[in-house]
Amino acid sequence: MPSDARGDDFHLAPHPRIAPPRGPVVLLILDGVGVGPGDAWDAVASAPTPVLDRLRREALTRTLRAHGTAVGLPSDADMGNSEVGHNALGAGRVYDQGAKLVDRAIAEGTIWSGVWAELTSFVREHGGALHLIGLLSDGNVHSHERHLHALLRRAAEEGLGKVRVHVLLDGRDVPETSALIYVDRLEQVLAELREAAGVDFRIASGGGRMVTTMDRYEADWRIVERGWRAHVIGEGRGFRSAREAIEAYRAEQPGVTDQFLPPFVIVDERGRPVGPIEDGDGVVFFNFRGDRAIEISRAFTEGDGFRGFDRGRTPRVFYAGMMLYDGDLRIPEHYLVAPPQIARTMGEFLARNGIAQFACSETQKFGHVTYFWNGNRSGKFDDESEEYLEIPSDRVPFEQRPWMKSAECADATIEAIRGGRYRFIRVNFAAGDMVGHTGSLDAARLAVAAVDLSIGRVLPVVLEAAGTLVVTADHGNSDDMVQRDAEGRPKRDADGRIRPLTSHTLNPVPFFVLDGSGRRLALRDDLPQAGLANVAATLLQLLGRRPPAEYESGLLED
């Protein structure tokens, strides 16, 4: 983790060589639009993108690293994601991120002191059960199964007699129908602990992540309600095991992927749920990433003022997150591992210097250009100089409207530019990522085409205003829509069907700068491993300011 400059010195000195543009600096973040293999299964390369093609010809152009160690993840085998990507973009530095922090806390044993000790004491004192809820996979974007296994083993070592696991099925950051791999591995761990320690540990409920529990940005509270009814109330379709539930749903809905499997409840031989959450229980939500953890955390911890949905019975429990999911709102109050402390972000520097800024996206990515961009901080730094605009996302499957709210985001950007107030404008176009996660190649091509069309509407307005356009992405996704073998060929099922890829990619992302103010700009050629963390300093250079000394280097020649 970097050592930040401290104190109240937020002054941004004028850049010694680069003058400010007459118009605004406009950053367009094309979520999930990386630089892929360039073949027919690369939805970015195979979509009609005349505007991106123009930028490749006319703009300053390079690629940036957006995964692994470049964004604070444990290794370069780890995919980037929107959370860590926007943290790096806004912070201008690389911070150790969720998975790495949890891994370290487990390895060093620090996770078992503090809140964990309070939680387990509460469970023993009240004779309750420990419930572990979270995404079951090794995708390492929201969670990792090894963290769940470590919690289970520690609970057994400490003599907790009853643990229930509520599994959210992935199929998004891992292969789309891989749930049984993770369920079987979890069942093996549970069986080993039952045999060795004589404990009552088992799976109690579950469901696909896109329909159960893991909503974000209040896009659809019904998703959280379904999870609440399965995990807490024990209501829902009953099965004797998670494997039985998954196999039954797949048989009934051919082609359904794990992320959309309906919720289920595990029942005993008499049809009674084996693990509803009761007064005196402890609950850990073991995802480390915050965006899809906040709403379920609120459902457990908010009092009578909660308005997300009718909770019905609300048990009195000790609730903890794997991490602190919202630092400003303190959600949740209790957490096992402290998140990275990100201060002195670009947004804060601009606010402290009175530089007006505008941030916009549709609901699905609104928190990324605000909360995550600002270093996991809710709200504005300065109400006078900042404006944030959320455009409500449609509540339909993304592949059915793959253009999403690209046009509306472009409308808002154009209005912000023409208004003349803002010096820095940042906008996230969500379609490349959200549609890429569906695995639909045709829909992803349409999504990328819609985003390209939107850039084409914004570009001339930036140039007319004598501003500067910067285009990049937070990670890859639509740039590779198939699972590949070691030779890079698409993998196929036994029936010959090509296996889609629904996860992010390890590919780099594009970076374009097109200046409309007549300045002579050039990219440095000595930063081949530059990543997203280099963008903040570059944006400050383009604004005619000298970047803070603690930031990663700017990409422009000084």
456: Cβ–Cβ under 8 A, 6 or more apart, which residues? 50, 51
User: Angle between the 242-252 and 179-197 helix axes, to the nearest 10 degrees?
Assistant: 160
Q: List the catalytic residues.
A: 82
2: Cβ–Cβ under 8 A, 6 or more apart, which residues? 93, 94, 95, 550
- CA dihedral for 25, 26, 27, 33, sign (positive or negative): negative
CA distance 417 to 98: 36
Contact (CB, 8 A) for 427 and 461: no
Question: Nearest 5°: CA angle at 235, between 233 and 238?
Answer: 135
457: Cβ–Cβ under 8 A, 6 or more apart, which residues? 410, 414
| Cis peptide bond upstream of 16, omega within 30 | no
CA distance 283 to 490: 41
Neighbours of 499 (CB within 10 A): 16
CA distance 199 to 154: 12
Residues present in the chain in total: 558
CA nearest neighbour of 178 among 214, 147, 209, 133: 209
For 317, half-sphere exposure in the C-beta direction (CA atoms, 13 angstrom radius) is: 27
Phi, psi of 9 (to 5 degrees): -85, 95
Q: In sequence order, what are the beta bridge partners of 136?
A: 169
CA nearest neighbour of 62 among 489, 480, 554: 554
The token pair at 343 is 């201060």
CA nearest neighbour of 183 among 242, 135, 130: 242
Stretch (H or E) spanning 349: helix 346-352
CA distance 397 to 507: 26
- CA dihedral for 244, 248, 254, 257, sign (positive or negative): negative
